[in-house]
């Protein structure tokens, strides 16, 4: 099935499941229709990724993401979120 057909059918199928009272389908439909960043402000990771690459080249590979995340924010929750985002990239 072509991807554009799935894009047309998936929301309808989720709506049908939602009409039966399926909470998981309602949640999936809201995620499917949400904008990509869903109201979160855009965060530019380019500079942080360059720092990670520089530390890896310098031989400090094991804890580079944690070091860079700590330098980017003072809030521990933010540091964790930044580190997770950098590890995915």
pLDDT-derived band of residue 1, with 50, 70 and 90 as boundaries? Answer: low
Confidence (pTM): 0.43
Q: How many domains does the chain have?
A: 2
Whether the predicted pLDDT of 43 surpasses 70: no
Amino acid 46: pLDDT: 73
Amino acid 50: pLDDT: 77
Asked if residue 52 belongs to a domain, the reply is: yes
* 58: DSSP letter: T
Asked if residue 39 belongs to a domain, the reply is: no
Whether the predicted pLDDT of 38 surpasses 80: no
What count of residues does the chain have? 89
Q: Are residues 53 and 83 in the same domain?
A: yes
Asked if residue 29 belongs to a domain, the reply is: yes
Angle of CA points 19, 14, 6, to nearest 5°: 150
Can you give the residue range of the structural domain that contains 22? 3-33
């Amino acid at each position: 099935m072509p991807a554009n057909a799935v894009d047309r059918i998936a929301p309808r199928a989720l709506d049908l499941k939602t009409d039966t009272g399926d909470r998981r389908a309602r949640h999936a439909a809201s995620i499917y229709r949400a904008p990509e960043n869903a109201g979160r402000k855009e965060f530019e990771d380019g500079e942080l990724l360059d720092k990670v690459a520089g530390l890896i080249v310098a031989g400090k590979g094991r804890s580079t993401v944690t070091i860079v995340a700590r330098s980017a924010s003072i809030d521990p929750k933010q540091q964790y979120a930044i580190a997770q985002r950098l590890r995915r990239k």
